[in-house]
Amino acid sequence: MNMHSTAPHAVAPVSSAPKNATKWSIEAIEALFELPFNDLVWRAQSAHRAHFDPNGIQLSTLLSVKTGGCPEDCGYCPQSARHPTAVAAQAILSTEAVLAAAQAAKAAGASRFCMGAAWRSPKERDLNAVIDMIEGVRALGLETCATLGMLKPEQAERLKQSGLDYYNHNLDTAREFYGEVIHTREYQDRLDTLAAVREAGMHVCCGGIVGMGETRRMRAGLLFELANLDPVPESVPINLLVQVEGTPLHGTEALDPFEFVRTIACARITMPASRVRLSAGRESLSDEMQALCFLAGANSIFYGEKLLTTGNPDVQRDQRLFERLGLHAE
């Protein structure tokens, strides 16, 4: 298996972003969740094959370019300055350090390099620094993605002009549960940032987190919000809560792994032309459970040893799993 790609596939223009002719209701998505497991996975795999190579996986690597000290109070996040976690604040990395990490990610087979910063929203000096990083990463032949918090329209336009391909800004959960997890940013704030990203002409990476104590209907509610964005996000990261001591959600009852697979399957059915990514929490999934997720329509992973501040399966383990399953990097 060749895990090393000389260059990523060209990023499609935003005008070809996935459209979703079906307008989903929460009740219809709940009905998908209720299907017998085999029937649900069959439907998801059928939708997957209609739009993608069933054995191709897109590889992304995520680097925290500025860690900790965030003023937000997101209940899952160890980078919040409001939570007593072991994560120490770290100033923004140098462009040289970021480009070295990007080069290593490319050598390991990643086609997209994502840069994350723990800000509520970037200041002008912060944006200038990240733009230097974006330009350098693009020069290496990698797709670029950034997650920097809330954006104003003019900031989104500057990032687009710098060559940023994707902007990540997750909805996190359903509207009705959002206020149980986050109090320092409104749901509409997130939608406004997504609108600014689209208006600037960038691709959208937007998903959420499951296992935070939400109900199945709330998981359906998250997918309802995502599937009814117009156009739908090109990338949909589905994160499984990583419980970090000191965060308010530490100690939450763990989500049934099969419910996680159901969530992946429902994401694939409701957003058939989008990349569905296994993101945070993958370290806790067995190889067998990851294989079920791929069968259910996941076709992108975060690849590397760390996701911002939490662990991730190492590259060698992923390569062995791909070889056992007959999967290949795209």
- Give the chain's domain count: 1
Query: 266 catalytic, yes or no?
Result: no
Instruction: Name the catalytic one among 190, 205, 275, 293.
Output: 205
Alpha carbon distances (Å) from 185 to 15, 71, 124, 181, 200: 30, 10, 20, 10, 22
What string of pLDDT tens digits covers the 330 residues of the chain? 444 444 444 444 444 567 666 789 999 999 999 999 999 999 999 999 999 999 999 999 999 988 766 767 776 776 665 566 656 667 789 999 999 999 999 988 889 999 988 888 889 889 999 999 999 999 999 999 999 999 999 999 999 999 999 999 999 999 999 999 889 889 999 999 999 999 999 999 999 999 999 999 999 999 999 999 999 999 999 999 988 777 877 888 899 999 999 999 999 999 999 999 999 888 889 999 999 999 999 999 988 654 444 444 577 888 999 999 999 998
Asked whether residue 15 is assigned to any structural domain, the reply reads: no
Instruction: Name the catalytic one among 198, 268, 275, 277.
Output: 277
Instruction: Name the catalytic one among 43, 70, 185, 206.
Output: 70
Asked whether residue 162 is assigned to any structural domain, the reply reads: yes
Instruction: Name the catalytic one among 43, 112, 145, 185.
Output: 145
Q: Which residues of the chain form beta strands (DSSP E)? A: 56-66, 112-117, 143-147, 166-168, 203-205, 208-210, 235-240, 275-278, 300-302, 306-307, 310-311, 328-329
Dist. CA 183–CA 296, nearest whole Å: 33
- The CATH number given to whatever domain includes residue 245 is 3.20.20.70
Query: 206 catalytic, yes or no?
Result: no
Asked whether residue 200 is assigned to any structural domain, the reply reads: yes
Asked whether residue 14 is assigned to any structural domain, the reply reads: no
Q: Which of 79, 96, 97 is nearest to 88 (CA)?
A: 79
Instruction: Name the catalytic one among 112, 114, 185, 266.
Output: 114
Asked whether residue 8 is assigned to any structural domain, the reply reads: no
The whole domain housing 178 covers 23-329
Give the gyration radius of the chain's Cα atoms: 18
Asked whether residue 195 is assigned to any structural domain, the reply reads: yes
Asked whether residue 206 is assigned to any structural domain, the reply reads: yes
Query: 145 catalytic, yes or no?
Result: yes
pTM of the model: 0.88
Instruction: Name the catalytic one among 74, 206, 266, 293.
Output: 74
Asked whether residue 16 is assigned to any structural domain, the reply reads: no
